[in-house]
């Protein structure tokens, strides 16, 4: 199935998605990598309020390449980064905020249960940064630029951002885990 979704996402929007479906997103994406995740969790612990809202949000695991021009920030190249690095911090993030979709590449080991009834993981082709930049229409704003260009939180306005493959749905099905399990079985046989 193919779906075209508009942010902010509602729970109903993502509940209908099944692993393997193709999704296109229009609206706003917030980029967040290692350092931004760490800061979001740190602020939660201190009881501080975030400068942006993550309720119904789509988080994009991306450290974009931006250029500052006279009219503001311009996206040069903005593909997904390896989501695996954020696996440990993501369950706490999802407990603290109603993030509805995470876009990244490579999958996230062991987070299917944290996503259940809450959120989906959408895979975007790794390295396809020039392609992604074409679908990002505007840089709305940027937070935490002190973390450096790749680690800052960029708020991006996108139109029909995709194709995204539902890699992990909100019902516990995880394509990446299935591929990994199969590969492990093949490896086991080869090792004998």
Partner 1 sequence: MSSKISRENFIRSIADLLRKAEIELPDDVESALRKAETAEESQVAKSQLQAILKNLEIAKKHGVPMCQDTGIMIFFAEFGTEFQPGFDLEAALREAVILATAEVPLRPNAVDPLTRKNSGDNTGVGIPDIHWKLVPGNQLKITAAPKGAGSENMSALRMFNPTETGNIRNFVLETIVNACGMPCPPLTIGVGIGGSSDAAARLAKEALLEPLDAPMNGLEREILETVNSLGIGCMGLGGSTTALAVHVKTASCHTASLPVAINIQCWANRHASIVFGGDE
Point out the residues that are catalytic: 37
Please state the closest distance from residue 73 (CB atom) to partner 1, in A: 12
Q: What is the DSSP string of 39-53?
A: HHHHHHHHTPPPSS-
Q: Rule CB under 8 A: is residue 78 a binding residue for partner 1?
A: yes
Q: Rule CB under 8 A: is residue 130 a binding residue for partner 1?
A: yes
Q: What is the DSSP letter of 120?
A: E
Tell me how many residues contact partner 1 (CB under 8 A): 46
Among 62, 94, 99, 168, binds partner 1 (CB under 8 A): 62
Q: Rule CB under 8 A: is residue 184 a binding residue for partner 1?
A: yes
* Inter-residue contact 42 to 49 (CB < 8 Å): no
**Residue recorded with tokens 């790794």:** 126
Q: Rule CB under 8 A: is residue 148 a binding residue for partner 1?
A: yes
Please state the closest distance from residue 11 (CB atom) to partner 1, in A: 26
User: Which residues share a beta bridge with 142?
Assistant: 154
Sign of CA dihedral 81, 55, 166, 178: positive
| Residue closer to partner 1, measured from CB, 113 or 191 | 191
3-state DSSP assignment of residue 138: strand
Say how far apart CA 98 and CA 73 lie, in whole Å.
Answer: 28
Q: Rule CB under 8 A: is residue 105 a binding residue for partner 1?
A: yes
Q: What is the DSSP letter of 174?
A: B
Q: Which residues bind partner 1 (CB under 8 A)?
A: 20, 35, 62-65, 67, 76-79, 81-82, 84, 105-107, 123, 125-134, 148-150, 163, 165, 167, 175-176, 178-180, 182-184, 186-187, 190-191
């Amino acid at each position: 199935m193919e779906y075209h979704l508009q942010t902010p996402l509602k729970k109903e929007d993502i509940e209908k998605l099944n692993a393997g479906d193709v999704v296109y997103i229009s609206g706003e994406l917030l980029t967040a990598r290692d350092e931004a995740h760490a800061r979001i969790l740190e602020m939660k612990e201190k009881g501080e309020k975030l400068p942006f809202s993550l309720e119904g949000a789509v988080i994009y695991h991306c450290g974009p390449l931006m250029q500052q021009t006279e009219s503001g920030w311009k996206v040069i190249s903005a593909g997904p980064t390896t989501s695996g690095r954020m696996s440990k911090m993501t369950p706490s993030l999802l407990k603290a905020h109603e993030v509805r979709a995470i876009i990244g590449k490579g999958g996230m080991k062991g987070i299917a249960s944290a996503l259940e009834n809450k959120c989906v993981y959408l895979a975007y082709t790794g390295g396809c940064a020039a392609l992604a930049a074409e679908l990002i229409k505007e840089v709305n704003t940027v937070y935490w630029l002190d973390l450096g260009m790749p680690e800052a939180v960029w708020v991006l306005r996108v139109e029909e951002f995709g194709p995204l493959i539902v890699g992990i749905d909100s019902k516990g099905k995880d394509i990446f885990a299935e591929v990994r399990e199969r590969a492990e079985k093949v490896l086991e046989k080869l090792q004998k």
